[in-house]
A and B are shown apart, each in its own frame.
Chain A
Amino acid sequence: KAGVTQTPRYLIKTRGQQVTLSCSPISGHRSVSWYQQTPGQGLQFLFEYFSETQRNKGNFPGRFSGRQFSNSRSEMNVSTLELGDSALYLCASRDDGVNTEAFFGQGTRLTVV
């Protein structure tokens, strides 16, 4: 089985722009969750999607949004980029169920200049 694929791997954007990141989960997994990792704050939960519905959301401003398609692929969007949005963005996919193992992608490293 192919693993979780995130594209692009690296991205440089200018303040004020918007960005869209993509995550393709493991085949058959319907849960996709997104995380932000920064040196100062560590890993933080952004949101989780299951069967095209957002089930949970972390404590991030409305500039951070996401969606999930019928094939379980997910995108996250950050609008009006700020320097502080520079981070590694990770997604993880899981099989159905409360306690199932999470499989992480390699991440997208976003640099805002």
Chain B
Amino acid sequence: KNEVEQSPQNLTAQEGEFITINCSYSVGISALHWLQQHPGGGIVSLFMLSSGKKKHGRLIATINIQEKHSSLHITASHPRDSAVYICAVNSGGSNYKLTFGKGTLLTVNP
């Protein structure tokens, strides 16, 4: 079993829909990252969470440390949100070490 599990693996939505991507992890962590990767490879960090909830524009990320679970929500999805979304956890503390989920491929159709 992977230390970081994401669901779903693939997600297709219509423009305007509310999107949720889930991430569960089995190790102790000091922080969880949500990353976005577009075709071509570049990765952008969307959020880093160690507790609670963060919001940036139409994106919201939450984390429940007790349940070892995080969610990424996209409100009013748009075709430009189409990308791979990756959950990663820092399980190394100050000896930084990211462990990644397999990613969720999101396609938003106009």
The chain A residue sitting closest to B92, CB to CB, is A56
- The A/B interface has a contact count, at CB < 8 Å, of 69
Docked-complex contact A56 and B97, CB < 8 angstroms: yes
Docked-complex contact B42 and A42, CB < 8 angstroms: no
CA distance A102 to B31 in the complex (A): 11
Cβ of A48 within 8 Å of any chain B Cβ, yes or no, is: yes
Question: Which residue of A88, A94, A103, A107 is within 8 Å of B96 (Cβ)?
Answer: A94
Docked-complex contact A98 and B93, CB < 8 angstroms: yes
Cβ of B100 within 8 Å of any chain A Cβ, yes or no, is: yes
CA distance A100 to B96 in the complex (A): 10
A-contact 0/1 string along B33-47, CB 8 Å cutoff: 101000011111100
Docked-complex contact A48 and B97, CB < 8 angstroms: yes
Q: How large is the interface on B (under 10, 10 to 19, 20 to 34, 35 or more residues)?
A: 20 to 34
Question: Which residue of A33, A92, A101, A107 is within 8 Å of B41 (Cβ)?
Answer: A107
The chain A residue sitting closest to B102, CB to CB, is A42
CA distance A58 to B45 in the complex (A): 21
Cβ of A31 within 8 Å of any chain B Cβ, yes or no, is: yes
Question: Which residue of B40, B42, B93 is within 8 Å of A104 (Cβ)?
Answer: B42
Docked-complex contact A43 and B96, CB < 8 angstroms: no
Number of A interface residues at 8 Å Cβ cutoff, please give it.
27
Contacts of A48 in B (CB 8 A): 92, 95-97
Contacts of A45 in B (CB 8 A): 97-100
CA distance A79 to B92 in the complex (A): 27
Docked-complex contact B96 and A31, CB < 8 angstroms: yes
The chain A residue sitting closest to B49, CB to CB, is A99
Docked-complex contact B42 and A99, CB < 8 angstroms: no
